[in-house]
Amino acid sequence: MIGVTVLGATGSIGVSTLDVIARHPDRFRVVALTANTQVDRMYEQCLSFKPEFAVMADDNAAQQLADRLKQAGSETGVLSGVENLEKVASLPQTDYVMAAIVGAAGLLPALAAARTGKRILLANKEALVMSGQLFMDEVSKNKAELLPIDSEHNAIFQCMPENFANGLDGVGVNRILLTASGGPFRTMPLSDLKHVTPEQACNHPNWDMGRKISVDSATMMNKGLEVIEACWLFNTTADHIEVVLHPQSVIHSMVAYADGSVLAQLGNPDMRTPIAHAMSWPERMESGVESLNIFDIARLDFEKPDFDRFPCLRLAFEAVNAGGTASAILNAANEVAVQAFLDGNLSFLGISEVIETVLGEVTGHEASSLEIILADDASARESAQRCIAVPGRSAI
């Protein structure tokens, strides 16, 4: 039996992961589940999957969960705090770690999994965005396995030759075509973007995601972060990555080869496909996703992204090309700005304005240690908060 720890179990990726696990009870067992504050969902998951441990990042939520599980006769041990997220990611009985905590909060437990040689199913792109070289070095040094869960990166992985880590030029790969739906505002008049509400931004046309990631999709910062992540996952530079708007979300990404071939991975937009792929790799197993019926596809459209419409994508390319901690600064500013937008304290267009201001204010450094990365992350968050607090900046 393969032991699995799910970091971020109550989010959309975590729920999909547990759905896949439930389909293969003879193959996987849940060792630990973690969440932030969603006690009700975690309670139900603990009763269904009987993990050894449940970790709530919030202390009050942990106490509530512990009381309810005790009353139900559950033997699951309840822990709290960030340090215990790292603990359950590195337990000896854990073989696979689903890293699905949203944002910078997922970095340290994902690193803990890398340092203990786990198979890391990486759905937390911020881990690589913030600490790319450090993270990849830990994976290599400790003989961990790193398999991407984002549908785009998983598609690229499936289309790559086995030895891509040696460098794309050496294996005949010309470029990566990273697809993007364009989110809910791909065709909205630019003048209307200033009035966008959180509810509109979270209404993605194809995917069912959490609120933060949905906003990132609407601004296309999500795609920018994926460009940065792809650079580290596939040992390449942003010059070899082209973002392609594909509103149907049927082709999840493509890889172009020197001989003129372009390999693509297609499928219905359901995260259980990449999750099942990574959990069973190099084999294949049933995921619960209906097979794509190509006869139902009326058309496949492709467009170039417009940086005027999606300035966050431009900022991400600038950050990865700048190197050092610029990507960590970008990510931190984005997290603060998106939360302010969701809270009604910043306009939709203000998200990119805040990020660009922070990138201009906070000096990046060589990302040579975790301490330096986290210090610049903190500086970027402080800068973003100051920027948002400017009178007249934020009202929707």
For position 367, which CATH number holds?
1.10.1740.10
pLDDT of residue 207: 63
d(CA 302, CA 247): 7
Q: Are residues 51 and 171 in the same domain?
A: no
Residue 105, domain member (yes or no): yes
Q: Where are the extended beta strands (E) located within the chain?
A: 2-7, 28-35, 53-56, 77-80, 96-99, 119-122, 145-148, 173-180, 241-245, 251-257, 262-266
Using the 3D structure, point to which of 97, 130, 148 is the last residue of a domain.
Answer: 148
Say how many domains are in the chain.
3
- Assess whether 165 and 138 both reside in one domain: no
Q: Is 304 part of any domain? A: no
Given a contact cutoff of 8 angstroms between Cβ atoms, the answer to whether 269 and 206 are in contact is yes
Query: For the sheet containing 28-35, what is the strand order?
Result: 77-80, 53-56, 28-35, 2-7, 96-99, 119-122, 145-148
Q: What per-residue confidence (pLDDT) applies to 148?
A: 97
What is the CATH number for 51?
A: 3.40.50.720
Bridge partners for 227 per DSSP? none
> Residues 7-17, buried b or exposed e (16+ Cβ, 10 A)?
bbbbbbbbbbb
In a domain, 118, yes or no: yes
Say if residues 365 and 324 touch (Cβ distance below 8 Å). yes
Say if residue 17 is in the same domain as residue 64: yes
For residues 19 and 129, membership in a common domain is answered with yes
Query: Quick one: pLDDT at residue 102?
Result: 82
Cβ atoms of 94 and 55 closer than 8 Å: no
- Residue 64, CA distances (Å) to 15, 49, 84, 383 in order: 21, 19, 17, 35
Q: Which pLDDT belongs to residue 183?
A: 85
Quick one: pLDDT at residue 368?
92
Residue 172: domain span: 155-296
| Residue 36 CB neighbours (<10 A) | 16
Q: In what order do the strands lie in the sheet with 173-180?
A: 241-245, 173-180, 251-257, 262-266
CA distance 122 to 327: 18
- Asked whether residue 248 is assigned to any structural domain, the reply reads yes
The reported pLDDT for the residue numbered 396 is 42
Rounded alpha-carbon distances, angstroms, from residue 206 to 97, 119, 199, 268: 27, 29, 15, 10
Write the burial class of residue 322 (CB in 10 Å: 0-12 exposed, 13-18 middle, 19+ buried). middle
| Cβ neighbours for 12, distance < 8 A, ≥ 6 positions apart | 208, 209, 210, 271
Question: DSSP string spanning 331-351?
Answer: HHHHHHHHHHHHTTSS-HHHH
Those residues with Cβ within 8 angstroms of residue 101's Cβ, 6 or more apart along the chain or in another chain: 7, 8, 11, 34, 85, 109, 110, 124
In a domain, 303, yes or no: no
Are 139 and 205 found together in one domain? Answer: no
Are residue 54 and residue 129 in the same domain, yes or no? yes
Q: What is the pLDDT of residue 340?
A: 96
311 cis-preceded (ω within 30 degrees of 0): no
**Is the residue at 393 inside a domain?**
no
Do 166 and 279 belong to one domain? yes
Answer for the pair 8, 34: CB distance below 8 angstroms, yes or no.
yes
Looking at residue 165, its pLDDT comes to 85
- The last residue of a domain, from among 121, 148, 175: 148
Q: What is the pLDDT along the chain (396 residues), one digit of tens a residue?
A: 999 999 999 999 999 999 999 999 999 999 999 999 999 999 999 999 999 999 999 999 999 999 999 999 999 999 999 899 999 999 999 999 999 998 778 899 999 999 999 999 999 888 899 999 999 999 999 999 999 999 999 999 999 998 898 889 889 999 999 999 988 889 889 888 989 999 988 887 666 667 888 999 999 999 999 999 999 999 999 999 999 999 999 999 999 999 999 999 999 999 999 999 999 999 999 999 999 999 998 889 999 999 999 999 999 999 999 999 999 999 999 999 999 999 999 999 999 999 999 999 999 999 999 999 999 999 999 999 999 987 655 544
Do 78 and 204 belong to one domain? no
- The answer to whether the CB of 373 falls within 8 A of the CB of 130 is yes
Q: Where are the beta strands (DSSP E) in 181-250?
A: 241-245
Q: Is residue 313 part of a domain?
A: no
Which pLDDT belongs to residue 213? Answer: 86
DSSP per-residue string spanning 39-85? HHHHHHHHHHH--SEEEESSHHHHHHHHHHHHHTT---EEEESHHHH
* pLDDT the model gives residue 395: 46
* Residues 141 and 168 grouped into a single domain: no
Q: Final residue of a domain: which of 87, 115, 148? A: 148
Does residue 280 sit in the same domain as residue 358?
no
Please report, to the nearest 10 degrees, the dihedral formed by the alpha carbons of residues 149, 289, 216, 132 taken in order: 0
Residue 163 within any structural domain of the chain: yes
135 and 259, same domain (yes or no) = no
Are residues 288 and 177 located together in one domain of the fold?
Answer: yes
